[in-house]
């Protein structure tokens, strides 16, 4: 796994917590495997938060866009990109 800045780690953690963002989308944006994301989350979160996140992820079929027909990765990637632009322009509170 490449070296990440604190800002990048924060964005990846936010993406991983988002129900509509699949591991494939995160991989597409950040070039991190599912294993890398889980390792990063384990290292970045408190133990109980990590356990809650893992339970949530295990219940969500949408975290794996290839297994879920209703999630379109390109739309989700666009949504993430759009949110980041809005956040950078202070359009979101």
User: How does pLDDT run across 62-90, given as a tens digit for each residue?
Assistant: 565 555 445 455 555 666 666 666 566 55
* Residue 1 maps to a domain: no
Contact 11, 5 (CB under 8 A): no
* Residue 55 maps to a domain: yes
Instruction: Give me 13's structure tokens.
Output: 């953690």
* Residue 74 maps to a domain: yes
* Residue 41 maps to a domain: yes
pLDDT at 68: 47
* Residue 27 maps to a domain: yes
* Residue 93 maps to a domain: no
| Cβ neighbours for 43, distance < 8 A, ≥ 6 positions apart | none
Domains contained in the chain, number: 1
> Considering the entire predicted model, what is its pTM?
0.66
| Cβ neighbours for 19, distance < 8 A, ≥ 6 positions apart | 56, 60, 62, 63
Nearest to 84 by CA among 12, 3, 2, 4: 12
């Amino acid at each position: 796994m490449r070296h990440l800045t604190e800002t990048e780690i924060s964005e990846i953690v936010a993406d991983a917590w988002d129900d509509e963002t699949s591991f494939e989308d995160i991989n597409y944006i950040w070039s991190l495997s599912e294993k890398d994301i889980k390792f990063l989350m384990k290292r970045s979160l408190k133990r109980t938060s990590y356990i809650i996140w893992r339970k949530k992820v295990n219940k969500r079929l949408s975290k794996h866009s290839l297994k879920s027909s209703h999630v379109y990765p390109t739309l989700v990637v666009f949504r993430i990109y759009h949110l980041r632009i809005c956040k950078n322009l202070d359009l979101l509170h």
